Structures are given as C-alpha cells and as structure tokens.
Amino acid sequence: MLEIEAVHAGYGALPVLEAIGFHVEEDEVVGLVGPNGAGKTTLVRALAGLLRPSAGAIRFAGHDVTAEPGHRRAGEGMAFVLDNRALFSELTVRQNLALAERMGRRSGRLKCFSDDAELFDLLPVVRERIDTPVQLLSGGQQQMVAIARALLLRPRLLVMDEPSAGLAPLIVKHILELLHRLKGRGIGILVVEQNVRLIAEVADRGYVMSLGRLVHEVPRGAWRSLLEDERLVHAYLGG
C-alpha cells in the first residue's frame, strides 16, 4: 500500500533523512520508533506532502505521490494525525468533524466504523465536548478530536505522529484501544512514536530510526524481544 524508496530529505542545506526505505501494507499496524532528533517528524512531513524529498520515491497504492501536494494525497486515502493537530481552533468539535465527514462521504470509500457511535464510544471526550470550540480544549482532548477527524475521512492509510506525546495515561489507553479496534478493518496504520513500550502494545512489526536512518527492523511479533535487548535500547531508544 505505502512504499518509501530510498528517500532523502532535509531543510535547505541541512540533510535529515538518508536513504529511508520501508513499506506499510493494508490491515497492519507498523511502528516507527526513535529518540528525539531521529528524523521521525521530518519523515512524516515528507509523507504528508509538507516537505519535498530531495531524492527517492513515495508510492501509495501503486501510484507515485512524491511530488503531489497534501490535499491530493488526502483525496487518495492518506490521513494524518500530526504533532500540531492542524484543527480549526475557532470552530467547534462538531464543525471540525462535519468537514471531515463530508470529505469522507464524497470519497466513496467505506467507513472505518459502520456506526459513528462506535468511534465516539472509543473517544468519549469527543462526544462530551462536541459543541465546544477546539481552542478551549486541552491538548489531550484536541488529540482525540484530531484522531476522530482523520478516521471520518475514511482513510486507507492512517499515519500518526507521536500520538501519545504529553498525554495523560487515560487518554493514551483510549488511543491504544482504538488502534486495536482498527485492526481487521482494511486500514494500513503507521504509528511514529518515541514511546517504544506503547508501540510494543499495538504494532505488528516496525523499524527503529536514529540520526535520519533506519537502523533496525523489528519483525512481526518481535517487539518484546527488542525491549529485552539492552544494547539496542540503550543505543537508540534512550533506555
């Protein structure tokens, strides 16, 4: 579904990503972990169309999207939960979600959940604050709204950048439960995180990133083994 081939990217003369290559398939959760400064957010920006790679290719569903702007990628079924959340802060939660629902309906793709009530059961704060302006919500509440909005777009691929950063344990628990419930619904999911223990709870397989490179691949079912590898954890994950 998503293929990244030898991607290089950076900011002006400052290189950040070097020969990044991996894939995400339909109906799996892939984790990408690494410390601060590893280049994770730069990679997400490249995937979202916010940063043009200097070399390499990004393909989605067999189509080269390397040069496509973000709105085109969204139209093809790529949805992102970014670290800045990118919500319309002056609008209410309901208004933000209505915009996403309209776009999702126009896409003709299947819903992630057949009943929106199921989604809101997993993200109860969204229902509780539905008529509140987004700018009055806490960071954790805004994160829940951003996730709900992404899913209402009916994505084929969901990319989440540091979804647990700075959030209360209860909200992180809701995110984990949601990711578990998304399994088996035909969506490819890439979760980019510093919290490797969270990733180990939900990801099928994944990668470790450091200094703009992928330095380790985690095979399916091997996250627990990675956590037990003291050398690897100390070298790349700040343990």
Distance CA 57, CA 17 (A): 13
CATH code, 206: 3.40.50.300
Residues 233 and 239 sit within 8 Å (Cβ to Cβ):
yes
Give the ranges where 39-168 is alpha helix by DSSP (H): 40-48, 70-75, 93-107, 116-122, 124-128, 139-152
Distance CA 87, CA 150 (A): 11
**Which parts of the chain have pLDDT scores under 70?**
238-239
Owning domain of residue 222: 2-236
Q: Per-residue pLDDT tens for 169-178?
A: 888 888 899 9
pTM for this one? 0.93
Q: Where are the beta strands (DSSP E) in the chain?
A: 2-11, 14-24, 29-33, 55-60, 63-64, 78-81, 157-161, 188-193, 205-210, 213-218
Q: Per-residue pLDDT tens for 20-78?
A: 999 999 999 999 999 999 999 999 999 999 999 999 999 999 999 999 999 999 999 99
Number of domains comprising the chain:
1
Please report which helix (H) or strand (E) contains residue 204, including its range: none
Distance CA 81, CA 23 (A): 19
